[in-house]
Amino acid sequence: MRILQVLIDTPFEECCPLSKDYEDLPTRLGIYAVKHREEGILYIGKAGNLRSRFTGGHKAISWAYVERIDPDEIRICAVVLSNEWRRSQLELETLMIQTLKPRYNIRIRAEE
């Protein structure tokens, strides 16, 4: 699970900060993690367009807001995937969530 290791190991400072337009996020297919500076990965997800996934809002960001986490303490780490991964994206996301059990994935899935 090299992709999960990349999400875990990418330094917080190299991740995309929260913003209005998320220009630093690619507009491509990928797997992403919402990371906290100290706690690490709070949420793992997939997207056909990483930038669009966040410009329209995201539940993990809303949870961080409700928990009064400083927005400067939250960033997004993304790994771009080739189109060959499109069919496997859901399985990959599920496997990573089962392995890491990020607290927001568990909370959000319980709401749905």
Q: Running DSSP on this structure, what letter comes out for residue 75?
A: E
Q: What pLDDT score does 56 carry?
A: 87
Q: What pLDDT score does 29 carry?
A: 96
- Strand duo 30-36 + 40-47: pairing: antiparallel
- How far apart, in whole angstroms, are the C-alpha atoms of residue 84 and residue 10? 24
> What distance separates the 2 farthest-apart alpha carbons in the chain?
39
Q: What pLDDT score does 85 carry?
A: 84
What's the number of domains the chain is made of?
Answer: 1
**What does the pLDDT profile of the chain (112 residues) look like in tens digits?**
799 999 999 999 999 999 999 999 999 999 999 999 999 999 999 999 999 999 989 999 999 999 999 999 999 999 999 988 888 898 999 999 999 999 999 865 555 5
Q: What angle do CA 57, 63, 65 make, to 5 degrees?
A: 85
Q: What pLDDT score does 111 carry?
A: 52
CATH number for the domain harbouring residue 52: 3.40.1440.10
For 81, the domain range is 2-111
Residue 31 tokens, joined: 């797997």
- How far apart, in whole angstroms, are the C-alpha atoms of residue 66 and residue 63? 5
Q: What pLDDT score does 95 carry?
A: 93
Residue 85: phi and psi, rounded to 5, are -85, -10
